[in-house]
């Protein structure tokens, strides 16, 4: 009986915390109507993306931690969607979260990233996808630094990094 009571209390606490997370993340399940859409057939995506990019962007896969091209990138520049070149993040909001994936505390433009409930793998998470092509980017969590308190945990394979031009 004691184990049941503890399990019930933990479930309730997680449910309340999850509801608070959803409010803080302002989860939206529909695309912004102002965002032009990129729609392609599965054949077109397979032809244009590398096998790993296809796996991440179109099949909601993930790369192993500490293996992606950008998890420890400290160069100044911008990060675009590998599927459609939409500007997603800048190096100004990138930080080392210690999780093994590129992490950002803020998107370049919130209208370019959609948040969706993800209950796969026995977890309750918030998936982030590109609003333009709906490619899977990763997940967002409420354990990031100020000023947002968010951690956009993004697969390197879902992005292309464009270094800033030097102004000498």
Query: What are the residue numbers of the active site?
Result: 153
Question: What single-letter DSSP state applies at residue 57?
Answer: H
Contact predicate 109/86, CB 8 Å: no
What residue has token string 């969706």? 116
Residues 84, 86: Cα–Cα separation, whole Å: 6
Residues 14, 159: Cα–Cα separation, whole Å: 32
Q: What are phi and psi of 123, to 5 degrees?
A: -125, 160
Half-sphere exposure in the Cβ direction for 57 (13 Å, CA):
28
């Amino acid at each position: 009986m004691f184990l049941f009571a503890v399990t019930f209390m933990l479930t309730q606490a997680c449910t309340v915390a999850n509801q608070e997370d959803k409010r803080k993340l302002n989860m939206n399940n529909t695309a912004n109507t102002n965002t032009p859409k990129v729609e392609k057939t599965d054949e077109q995506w397979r032809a244009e993306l590398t096998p790993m990019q296809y796996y991440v962007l179109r099949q909601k896969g993930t790369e192993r931690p500490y293996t992606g091209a950008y998890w420890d990138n400290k160069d100044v520049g911008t990060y675009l969607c590998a599927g459609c070149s939409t500007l997603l993040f800048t190096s100004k909001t990138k930080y080392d979260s210690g999780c093994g994936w590129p992490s950002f505390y803020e998107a370049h433009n919130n209208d370019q990233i959609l948040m969706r409930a993800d209950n796969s793998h026995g977890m309750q998470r918030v998936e982030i996808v590109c609003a333009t092509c709906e490619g899977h980017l990763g997940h967002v969590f409420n354990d990031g630094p100020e000023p947002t308190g968010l951690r956009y945990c993004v697969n390197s394979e879902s992005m292309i990094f464009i270094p800033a031009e030097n102004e000498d």
